[in-house]
Amino acid sequence: MENLETLFLNIGLTEAKARETAGNKKLAPTLKEILDHAGITEESDVPKATGNLLYNLASTITKNGVPHLAFLTKEITSERLKTNDQVAAAVKFFDKIAGGAFDQAKYEEECGVGIEVSDKEVKQQVADLFKANKAKIEADRYRSLGFLLGQARNSLLRWANPLTVKSEIDAQLLATLGPKDERDDPKLLKKKAKEAAAVPAKKDAAAAKPAEEKLDAEAMLVKMMTEGEITHLHKPGENPQPNPQRMVEHLKATGGKVVTRFPPEPNGFLHIGHAKAINIDFGYAQVHNGVCYLRYDDTNPDAEEKRYFDTIIETVRWLGFEPWKITYSSDYFDVLYELAVKLVKLDKAYVCHCTGEEIYEQRGGDSKGERFECKHRNRPIAESLAEFEKMKQGRYAEGEAILRMKMDMTSGNPQFWDLAAYRIKYTPHYRTADKWCIYPTYDYTHCLVDSLENITHSLCTLEFRQSRESYYWLVDALDLYKPVQWETGRLNINHTVMSKRKLNKLVSMGTVRGWDDPRLYTIVALRRRGFPAAAINMFVRSSGVTTSNSVTEVSRLDSYVRTVLNETAPRLMAILDPIKVTISNLPDSHCDMISLANNPLDPNAGERKVPFTRTIYIERDDFRTEDSKDFYRLAPGKPVGLLSVPFPISYVSHKSDANGNVTEILAKYENDAKKPAKRPKAFIHWVAHAPKLGSPVAFEARNYGSLFQHAFPENKDEVPGGWLSDINPNSLSVSQGLVEVGIVDHVRKNAKRMKELKVPYSSAADNEGPHCEASDAQLRSVEDLKFQFTRVGYFCVDPDSRLAGNEPSKWHLVVNKTIGLKEDAGKSK
């Protein structure tokens, strides 16, 4: 393996990529064969571009193309195939002819061999492209870039230098639209919003910013689906079929549309990785004017529950997608059974009575030794049919018999080692009750239901790469329409775990309170923590679609959350660790109503009024009993400004308890024009004590940090004690705070809106049973109550709150800290 790593490093792979490739039992020998054909050794001097093309060939070659590896390798090394697009076209060409007669001229035409596109031709082709899409370009402006690049790939421009094409499209966009303005650049939009903030907003003015955000997110989706390796996918009708009649039937059923599916197992809550899969499956269909199924892969009754079914569709819709149809693998149980019988009759399946341990040994066991066939493998077809019927009738206990597919035990691919097709389970099924006691496996069900639903693009993650061959084997064995399976890299992020088994362990151990605990990265947890759907979509779209696994910094997700909330979240002043300030030179009756902008970036968000009185509360860390040069807030001899209040306050004295903790600060309001105070170097937020006006409103703040102490808790080198030993004991802290009365209006308006939408209100704190996750209705009832607490961070109202009634003093308000404000140099001063 070390020699392979060295060899792969020599063609330009990174150290991590070379190691990963060398350990891939499917990819490593293919790439080694290609390099042998090219005469490349560990000492060879290989141009990086050539190495990239050879790796691309190895990772995309299909079964039908393998016999032509030597030819394709020579085409690359002789520079007849110069781009990834040409390599993809060549692989597709040989897949299509499937061993048929080779037509050199047809090959060169379809792969762009020898085609040189001049700069003049690029200019003319782009001009024609702009003319054909004039209306879309004028409507979408610079957001049409991704679309135009995708369209360029369907023309002669596909064989041009991609940088030249991109530069020409950029130039013609500029000539057509002029320089970018606030419609295209969020920074310019922010600037314009700030300039307009001083102008009173008309009551009927439309809030433009959310629409801009939606358009930005949509542009990211288009870019995700029209750039990179995903553009190499076939068009409907181009995937070859052993039986051409199957394609005729398929196109008749689909009308030539793209058809995808999102096929989750209903045995847990979806996580951030699934958000990317949802965007890819639904997004690919949406961008290509196709349709996408939501299909529940409900073939394991042991692990499936109604709440999982419910939360999956709720998550898909929350992220902004709507399935074309909602189906279940169990819809096809009768058909799948008949196909299994047919498979046995074709002598391509048999009933096996081996134990799990015996099957493990047949596949090489611990020693990875020689594989051998099961003693039941060659039993008569009639015998297997009779045994399969006994399985169906419930005449065997669980584990006593399985139906196995008769594949190829000599193959180097473990997915060909006579996989199970059916097993016995006596657990009643959520939908079919006790009708069945035999259930199809994922390996058997997945490809067949894809075929039955006429899926054009079966998109999945890289761990299913080896399953692609067994997927094709089964549909071919049954003479069914064959979809194309294509694998993409998983979305992995640091500082968490995403395995359902490990998440379930955390829940069952009580380490977290449920699947929606805001310290997790399940979608319901992120939703409860206050992460906007738009931010999650932008995050997963920003990483594009690749065919390699990688780890993304969680800080990148945080950045998108801040971006969205900064534009949309109303501002409030709230104190998480309050300390009382009495302004001694103001009368008890003093009360000024201070006007504050709800969102300085959105002039349409309006204003609110808050009282300023003799008694206020400030953050404890905004005061020091002893001054220092590096501290700019309230201290002896150092005044501080109060946000939006005309004059600063200065320190007079303070009171402390027996433990030395400051309990009250006495201050002076520096409103004497004859003796003005020193200009304050800082301004702090505050909340007034004005009980008759409902101020302040008390709340419980749940402050969440990382659940794990290390970035990679599953890395045994980094965490020798195992991932459970890495739990951060300080990942949750709870404090009691005070928020300005402005929150009351937001809560009441939200309650009115929820009533109009007929969303029932209840507190998640009252949920009973072993699972305490908030329901979709409970999450929706507080979904829009997200705020920026000035100078503190972004917070959202938690469903555990009890907000019924008109008296805020009787509310139990609970807020979750979504994320802190962006760090800045002066934050600690």
Q: Determine the Cα–Cα distance for residues 635 and 620; give it in Å rounded to an integer.
A: 12
In this structure, are 102 and 124 located in the same domain?
A: no
Task: Return the SS3 of 294.
Answer: strand
Q: In this structure, are strands 607-613 and 687-688 parallel, antiparallel, or unpaired?
A: unpaired
The domain that holds 647 is classified in CATH as: 2.40.240.10
Calculate the CA 617 to chain-centre distance: 40
The domain that holds 414 is classified in CATH as: 3.90.800.10
Rg (Cα) of the chain, in Å, rounded? 32
In this structure, are 60 and 137 located in the same domain?
A: no
User: Helix and strand tally (H, E) in the chain?
Assistant: 27, 27
Q: Determine the Cα–Cα distance for residues 280 and 491; give it in Å rounded to an integer.
A: 12
What pLDDT was estimated at residue 431?
95
What pLDDT was estimated at residue 770?
60
In a domain, 390, yes or no: yes
| Number of structural domains found in the chain | 4
DSSP string across 767-779: --SS--PPPHHHH
SS3 of 432-482: the string is: CECCCCEEECHHHHHHHHHHHCCCCEEEEEHHHCCHHHHHHHHHHHCCCCC
Task: Extract the tokens encoding 556.
Answer: 């990148």
Examine the residue annotation and report whether 500 is marked as an active-site residue of this protein.
Answer: yes
Cα–Cα distances in Å, from 710 out to 281, 725, 740?
Answer: 32, 11, 37
Helix axes 208-226, 186-196, angle to 10 degrees: 180
675, 695, 715 - which closes a domain? 695
* Residue with tokens 């290989």, as numbered in its chain: 46
135, 153, 178 - which closes a domain? 178
In this structure, are 62 and 146 located in the same domain?
A: no
In a domain, 820, yes or no: no
Examine the residue annotation and report whether 580 is marked as an active-site residue of this protein.
Answer: no
In this structure, are 130 and 90 located in the same domain?
A: no
- CA nearest 418: which of 384, 450, 458, 374? 374
Q: Using omega within 30 degrees of 0 as the cis cutoff, is the peptide bond preceding 696 cis?
A: yes
Cα–Cα distances in Å, from 764 out to 290, 755, 757, 785?
Answer: 39, 18, 19, 16
Q: Determine the Cα–Cα distance for residues 709 and 724; give it in Å rounded to an integer.
A: 11
Task: Return the SS3 of 814.
Answer: strand
* Cβ proximity of 809 and 694 under 8 Å: yes
In a domain, 144, yes or no: yes
Give the number of other CB atoms < 10 A from CB of residue 37: 17
In this structure, are 647 and 674 located in the same domain?
A: yes
> Could you tell me which residues come within 8 angstroms of residue 629 by beta carbon, excluding any fewer than 6 positions away?
none
Burial 573-601 (b: 16+ CB within 10 A, else e): bbbbebbebebeebeeeeeeebebbbbeb
In this structure, are 107 and 132 located in the same domain?
A: no
Domain range spanning residue 61? Answer: 4-111
Q: Determine the Cα–Cα distance for residues 85 and 150; give it in Å rounded to an integer.
A: 12
Give the number of other CB atoms < 10 A from CB of residue 322: 12
Which residue type is seen at 738?
L
Of the residues 227, 265, 358, 664, which is catalytic? 265
| Longest CA–CA separation in the chain, Å | 109
Q: Determine the Cα–Cα distance for residues 414 and 275; give it in Å rounded to an integer.
A: 29
In this structure, are 41 and 141 located in the same domain?
A: no
Q: Determine the Cα–Cα distance for residues 637 and 626; give it in Å rounded to an integer.
A: 9
Four-point Cα dihedral 383, 386, 392, 398, nearest 10: -40
In a domain, 722, yes or no: no
Examine the residue annotation and report whether 357 is marked as an active-site residue of this protein.
Answer: no
In a domain, 87, yes or no: yes
Q: Using omega within 30 degrees of 0 as the cis cutoff, is the peptide bond preceding 242 cis?
A: no
In this structure, are 153 and 74 located in the same domain?
A: no
What pLDDT was estimated at residue 823?
45
Q: Determine the Cα–Cα distance for residues 155 and 125; give it in Å rounded to an integer.
A: 8
Q: What pairs with residue 662 in β-bridges?
A: 656
Q: Determine the Cα–Cα distance for residues 662 and 314; give it in Å rounded to an integer.
A: 48
In this structure, are 625 and 645 located in the same domain?
A: yes
Q: Determine the Cα–Cα distance for residues 531 and 817; give it in Å rounded to an integer.
A: 10
Phi/psi for 386 (5° steps) reads: -65, -40
DSSP conformational letter for 43: T
In this structure, are 155 and 174 located in the same domain?
A: yes
What pLDDT was estimated at residue 188?
53
In this structure, are 621 and 652 located in the same domain?
A: yes
In a domain, 514, yes or no: no
What pLDDT was estimated at residue 201?
38
Of the residues 143, 223, 490, 528, which is catalytic? 490
In a domain, 203, yes or no: no
Task: Order the strands of the 325-328 sheet from edge to edge.
Answer: 259-262, 291-296, 325-328
Task: Extract the tokens encoding 303.
Answer: 């692990």
Task: Return the SS3 of 704.
Answer: strand
The domain that holds 170 is classified in CATH as: 1.10.10.2420
Which residue type is seen at 217?
A
The domain that holds 13 is classified in CATH as: 1.10.8.1290
In this structure, are 140 and 94 located in the same domain?
A: no
User: How big is the chain, counted in residues?
Assistant: 829
Side-chain half-sphere exposure of 70, counting CA atoms within 13 A: 3
Average pLDDT for consecutive 10-residue bins of the chain (829 residues)? 81 81 84 92 87 87 88 93 86 81 89 88 91 88 80 81 85 89 61 48 35 62 86 90 95 97 95 96 94 97 93 96 97 98 98 96 92 95 97 97 96 94 96 97 97 97 91 97 94 90 92 94 96 95 85 91 94 97 96 94 90 97 94 94 95 94 95 82 96 95 95 91 94 96 94 91 79 86 95 96 88 96 51
In a domain, 460, yes or no: no
131, 147, 178 - which closes a domain? 178
- CA nearest 403: which of 358, 446, 341, 357? 341
Of the residues 123, 180, 500, 505, which is catalytic? 500
What pLDDT was estimated at residue 1?
60
* Cβ proximity of 231 and 146 under 8 Å: no
Q: In this structure, are strands 574-575 and 732-739 parallel, antiparallel, or unpaired?
A: antiparallel
Task: Return the SS3 of 572.
Answer: strand
